[in-house]
């Protein structure tokens, strides 16, 4: 059976090596006589997996002891609420940048908690772009500045992070571990696993431990970072199988050469695709050139009819998941870490053929 080229935005393609390794260990995990899925989350088999997953993330991001690596549930969407519940004090506000669909969801939760200050809003810009450093208008005494490092739907990415005198908080769901970055300006980073890290059901949270201390006694136990830091993410039963796959994926990234190697490959993959888009007037990118995402490449064809045809014919040729998000239409190629470079070449060839036949 041939695997298709899976351009889905999330859940997304995983490294084939990882899937095969998991398959080989699925029924009898390392001679334990049971699947890891059936094993106690407090047993030695699972403990080794958990510790390696934490160690891999710590090593890849070069984290100091000031940070805790947590594996939570509820998706990045739960973090939209958990972040302000834990980090914003009574009467305080937090700054948010509005960069599009995902930023808006984070903002909506901060608004429910009545602590949202919009520091910059670029969400209405066409072509889509990120807010600029010089557009930031920060509130006095703000708890943090929230950014969405990569807008998965808009196809835009912060290339350099804003420099501010308060902790940065980032939703990195769709570009975590795709490039190196300095964690020190960040108080907290979170990511649903299903784009760059593993299967859905696990949410990676990296938090500067001191920020978890001031949490109000009114925040329920499961919703406090402090609970999960103290219990090493084992306060309740964690999503053990998802964390196992995340461990294999982070091990795979290390074997490939770490985040510098990932970034080099990702930049090259995206550049090939953007070059194909820019080569003719038949295709047009939707993102401002300087903010183009290396993870989600969004573009349009001359008409919606041609887009529908393009997506259908690509699908018939083994290229799946190219339909743009239902809110914006068009075409979106999601090309995370695990998406193979040869798959980009295949899509570029297909684009040329399609234009020759329909242009």
Ligand X SMILES: *Cc1c(COP(=O)(O)O)cnc(C)c1O
- Distance in Å, CB of 83 to ligand X, minimum: 12
Q: How many CB atoms lie within 10 A of CB 42?
A: 10
Rule CB under 6 A: say whether 317 interacts with ligand X.
Answer: no
Cα dist from 331 to 138, 283, 312, whole Å: 35, 10, 11
Which of 123, 142, 148, 157: binder of ligand X (CB under 6 A)?
148
241-300 residues in contact with ligand X (CB under 6 A) are: none
Contact 153, 173 (CB under 8 A): no
Choose the catalytic residue: 95, 171, 291, 294.
171
Omega within 30 of 0 (cis) for the link into 127: yes
279-282: long-range contacts (C-beta < 8 A, 24 or more apart)? 280/355, 280/359, 282/355, 282/359
Which of 69, 76, 262, 287: binder of ligand X (CB under 6 A)?
76
Cα dist from 87 to 104, 255, 313, whole Å: 19, 36, 48
Applying CB under 6 A, what is the total number of residues that bind ligand X?
A: 12
Contact 178, 294 (CB under 8 A): yes
- State the Cα–Cα distance between residues 116 and 136, nearest whole angstrom: 14
Task: CB nearer to ligand X: give 39 or 177.
Answer: 177
Strand partners, 98: 121
Which of 77, 284, 317, 358: binder of ligand X (CB under 6 A)?
77
Burial of 106 by CB count in 10 Å (0-12 exposed, 13-18 middle, 19+ buried)?
Answer: buried
Task: CB nearer to ligand X: give 145 or 276.
Answer: 145
1-30 residues in contact with ligand X (CB under 6 A) are: 10
- Distance in Å, CB of 110 to ligand X, minimum: 14
Tokens of 137: 């208008």
- State the Cα–Cα distance between residues 212 and 51, nearest whole angstrom: 21
Which of 157, 173, 227, 233: binder of ligand X (CB under 6 A)?
173
Tokens of 175: 């570009």
- Distance in Å, CB of 74 to ligand X, minimum: 7
Residue 276, SS3 per DSSP:
helix
Closest CA to 146 of 113, 193, 179, 195: 113
Q: Which stretch binds ligand X (CB under 6 A): 166-174, 208-216, 256-264, 333-341?
A: 166-174
Is residue 171 among the annotated active site residues? yes
Residue 203, SS3 per DSSP:
strand
Q: Please enumerate in sequence order all residues whose Cβ is within 8 A of that of 185, keeping only pairs 6 or more positions apart, or say none.
A: 161, 163, 164, 167, 168
- Distance in Å, CB of 306 to ligand X, minimum: 27
- Distance in Å, CB of 200 to ligand X, minimum: 6
Q: Where are the alpha helices (DSSP H) in the chain?
A: 16-25, 44-60, 75-87, 101-112, 225-230, 240-256, 258-278, 304-316, 341-358
Choose the catalytic residue: 95, 158, 175, 195.
195
- Distance in Å, CB of 101 to ligand X, minimum: 8
Task: CB nearer to ligand X: give 101 or 317.
Answer: 101
Q: Which stretch binds ligand X (CB under 6 A): 74-82, 84-92, 126-134, 245-253?
A: 74-82
Task: CB nearer to ligand X: give 181 or 310.
Answer: 181
- Distance in Å, CB of 64 to ligand X, minimum: 25
Rule CB under 6 A: say whether 240 interacts with ligand X.
Answer: no
176-215 residues in contact with ligand X (CB under 6 A) are: 192, 195
Q: Which stretch binds ligand X (CB under 6 A): 14-22, 69-77, 242-250, 350-358?
A: 69-77
Is residue 281 among the annotated active site residues? no
Is residue 104 among the annotated active site residues? no
Which of 95, 109, 171, 355: binder of ligand X (CB under 6 A)?
171
Rule CB under 6 A: say whether 75 interacts with ligand X.
Answer: yes
Helices (H) and strands (E) in the chain, counts: 9, 14
Query: Which are the catalytic amino acids?
Result: 102, 171, 195
Q: Site residues (CB under 6 A) for ligand X?
A: 10, 75-77, 102, 148, 152, 171, 173-174, 192, 195
């Amino acid at each position: 059976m041939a695997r298709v080229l899976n351009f889905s935005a999330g859940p997304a393609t995983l490294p084939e090596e990882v899937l095969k390794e998991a398959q080989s260990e699925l029924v009898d995990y390392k001679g334990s006589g049971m699947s890891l899925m059936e094993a106690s989350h407090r047993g030695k088999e699972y403990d080794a997996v958990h510790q390696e997953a934490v160690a891999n993330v710590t090593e890849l991001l070069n984290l100091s002891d000031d940070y805790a690596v947590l594996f939570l549930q509820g998706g990045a969407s739960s973090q939209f609420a958990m972040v302000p519940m834990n980090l914003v004090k009574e009467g305080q506000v937090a700054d948010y940048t509005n960069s599009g669909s995902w930023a808006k969801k984070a903002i909506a939760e901060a608004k429910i908690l009545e602590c949202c200050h919009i520091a910059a809003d670029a969400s209405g810009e066409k072509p889509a772009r990120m807010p600029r450093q010089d557009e930031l208008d920060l509130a006095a005494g703000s708890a943090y500045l929230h950014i969405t490092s990569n807008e998965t739907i808009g196809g835009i990415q912060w290339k350099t992070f804003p420099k501010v005198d308060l902790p940065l908080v980032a939703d990195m769901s769709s570009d975590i571990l795709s490039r190196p970055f300095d964690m020190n300006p960040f108080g907290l980073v979170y990511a649903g696993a299903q784009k760059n890290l593993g299967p859905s059901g696990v949410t990676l949270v990296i938090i500067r431990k001191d920020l978890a201390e001031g949490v109000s006694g009114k925040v329920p136990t499961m919703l406090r970072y402090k609970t999960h830091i103290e219990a090493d993410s084992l306060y309740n039963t964690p999503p053990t199988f998802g964390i196992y796959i995340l461990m294999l994926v982070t091990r795979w990234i290390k074997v490939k050469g770490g985040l510098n190697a990932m970034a080099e490959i990702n930049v090259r993959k995206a550049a090939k695709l953007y070059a194909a888009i820019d080569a003719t007037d038949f295709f047009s990118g939707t993102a401002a050139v300087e903010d183009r995402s290396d993870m989600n490449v969004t573009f349009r064809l001359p008409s919606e009819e041609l887009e529908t045809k393009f997506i259908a014919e690509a699908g018939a040729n083994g290229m799946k998941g190219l339909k743009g998000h239902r809110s914006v239409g068009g075409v979106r190629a999601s090309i995370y870490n695990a998406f193979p470079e040869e798959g980009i070449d295949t899509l570029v060839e297909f684009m040329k053929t399609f234009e020759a036949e329909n242009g």
